[in-house]
């Protein structure tokens, strides 16, 4: 007895086929087919990480025990190698340095230079020379901080021979003003400060335009320009219109102050006073002059270069004169020895 093909096609499921096969064999009278055991599900562990980690631990522990045994053996047999064991932490240092980025490591960093800012360089107060008068330090501080003068320079002209026309033992301060108005306002305030209570000096400012004088000259200039425009005359140069208005340079002569003499000058003055007979007494002390200029005027005149060259030339001539005097003294001493020596028979 055979099953129809249509019936077999309908039995597409595996279990259905097994059931149909059992019923067919039972109807024939054959031995029954035992039910097959369910297939064993193949289980696969999700991860072997735990086992591997335990194996790694065991291996590391074995290596540590092995190293410790070797170290103990080496310590007993070869003590000179202890220095190598002490220097083993160096790789840790290298690891620490490797963790730092390359741009933060010392060999890749740029050297730090202590450079002075341009603004601080412009406002720097010059150093005081030796044996300077007491008024010089507060005067420099006032000119720089209160008046706002930039690029201050101090010229020590005490050794100038012959002395300058402004006087002997001269200190010259040169400063730069920011504008023409700043120049005249600063010079006026400096004169008022020197006339105030602590000092009671009588400064003289050459080239200073007072407050009312500047307004008067500006008013006259405006009136002149209106008249010239009404007549139809050609405009003249700015230098002719601004004559007497823009000076660009104010010289404040502080006058004579106490102190500031060199020791050799004091000794020479005392030596001259020993045989002095008559009225009056030689004046001591020193003089201070403040030169205030605009930036254009200062670059045009360059007083520092002028007076530095004059002072250098004067010192050179003085050294040459001293050398000639010493040579003459040596020649006179040699000639005197020749006269005193006995003539050989």
Highest mean pLDDT among 29-38, 110-119, 294-303: 294-303
pLDDT category, 252, cuts 50, 70, 90?
A: very high
The whole-number average pLDDT for the span 35-63 is 56
Query: Which residues have CB under 8 Å from 232's CB, separation 6+?
Result: none
pLDDT category, 203, cuts 50, 70, 90?
A: very high
Average of per-residue pLDDT values in the chain: 76
pLDDT of 216 > 90? The answer is: no
What H or E segment, with its residue span, contains residue 287? strand 286-294
User: Which of the pair, 244 or 171, is modelled with greater confidence?
Assistant: 171
The answer to whether the bond into 162 is cis (omega within 30° of 0) is yes
Which pLDDT score, from 0 to 100, does residue 95 have?
Answer: 46
> Which range is least confidently modeled, 143-157, 166-180, 219-233, 329-343?
329-343
Q: Which CATH class is domain 120-209+246-261+284-314?
A: alpha beta
Which pLDDT score, from 0 to 100, does residue 303 have?
Answer: 93
For 293, the 3-state DSSP assignment is strand
Domain ranges of the chain: 120-209+246-261+284-314
Residue 152: closest CA among 164, 160, 163, 142: 142
Which pLDDT score, from 0 to 100, does residue 322 have?
Answer: 84
Cα first-last separation, the chain: 181
- Angle subtended at Cα 112 by Cα 111 and Cα 113, rounded to the nearest 5 degrees: 110
Structure tokens at 96: 């620490």
pLDDT category, 334, cuts 50, 70, 90?
A: confident
Which pLDDT score, from 0 to 100, does residue 48 have?
Answer: 47
Which pLDDT score, from 0 to 100, does residue 60 have?
Answer: 65
> Which range is least confidently modeled, 38-42, 49-53, 206-210, 337-341?
49-53
pLDDT category, 149, cuts 50, 70, 90?
A: very high
The single residue listed with the structure tokens 């001539």 is: 317
The whole-number average pLDDT for the span 237-251 is 70
Q: What is the rounded distance in angstroms from the CA atom of residue 221 to the CA atom of residue 130?
A: 49
For 277, the 3-state DSSP assignment is coil
> Which range is least confidently modeled, 174-183, 271-280, 308-317?
271-280
The single residue listed with the structure tokens 């730069």 is: 176
Query: Which residues have CB under 8 Å from 229's CB, separation 6+?
Result: none
Contact 134, 258 (CB under 8 A): yes
161 — phi, psi (to 5°)?
Answer: -135, 115
- Alpha-carbon 332 to chain mean position: 59
What whole-number percentage of the chain has pLDDT above 70? 65
pLDDT in tens, 295-311: 999 999 999 999 999 99
Handedness of CA 88, 93, 94, 99 (dihedral sign): positive
Q: What is the rounded distance in angstroms from the CA atom of residue 299 to the CA atom of residue 278?
A: 48
Which pLDDT score, from 0 to 100, does residue 75 have?
Answer: 47
pLDDT of 294 > 80? The answer is: yes
């Amino acid at each position: 007895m055979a099953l129809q093909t249509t019936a077999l096609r309908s039995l597409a499921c595996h279990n259905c086929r097994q059931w149909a096969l059992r019923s067919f064999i039972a109807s024939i009278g054959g031995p029954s087919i035992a039910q097959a055991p369910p297939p064993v599900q193949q289980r696969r562990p999700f991860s072997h990480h735990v086992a591997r980690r335990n194996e790694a631990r065991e291996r590391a522990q074995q290596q540590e025990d092995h190293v410790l045994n070797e170290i103990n053996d080496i310590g007993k047999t070869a003590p000179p190698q202890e220095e190598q064991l002490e220097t083993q932490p160096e790789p840790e240092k290298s690891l620490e340095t490797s963790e730092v980025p390359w741009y933060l490591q010392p060999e890749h960093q740029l050297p730090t230079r202590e450079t002075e800012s341009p603004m601080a360089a412009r406002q720097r107060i010059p150093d005081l020379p030796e044996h300077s008068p007491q008024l010089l330090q507060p005067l420099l501080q006032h000119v720089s901080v209160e008046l706002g003068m930039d690029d201050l320079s101090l010229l020590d002209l005490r050794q100038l021979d012959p002395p300058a026309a402004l006087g002997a033992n001269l200190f010259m301060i040169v400063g730069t003003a920011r504008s023409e108005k700043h120049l005249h306002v600063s010079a006026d305030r400096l004169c008022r400060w020197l006339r105030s209570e602590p000092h009671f000096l009588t400064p003289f400012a050459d080239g200073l335009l007072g407050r009312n004088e500047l307004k008067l000259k500006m008013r006259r200039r405006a009136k002149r320009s209106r008249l010239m425009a009404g007549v139809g005359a050609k405009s003249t140069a700015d230098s002719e219109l601004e004559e007497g208005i823009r000076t660009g340079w104010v010289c404040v002569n502080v006058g004579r102050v106490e102190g500031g003499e060199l020791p050799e000058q004091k000794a020479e003055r005392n030596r001259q006073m020993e045989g002095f007979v008559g009225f009056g007494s030689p004046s001591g002390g020193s003089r201070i002059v403040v030169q205030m200029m605009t930036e254009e005027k200062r670059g045009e005149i360059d007083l520092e270069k002028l007076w530095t060259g004059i002072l250098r030339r004067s010192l050179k001539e003085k050294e040459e004169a001293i050398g000639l005097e010493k040579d003459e003294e040596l020649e006179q001493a040699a000639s005197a020895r020749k006269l005193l020596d006995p003539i050989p028979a």
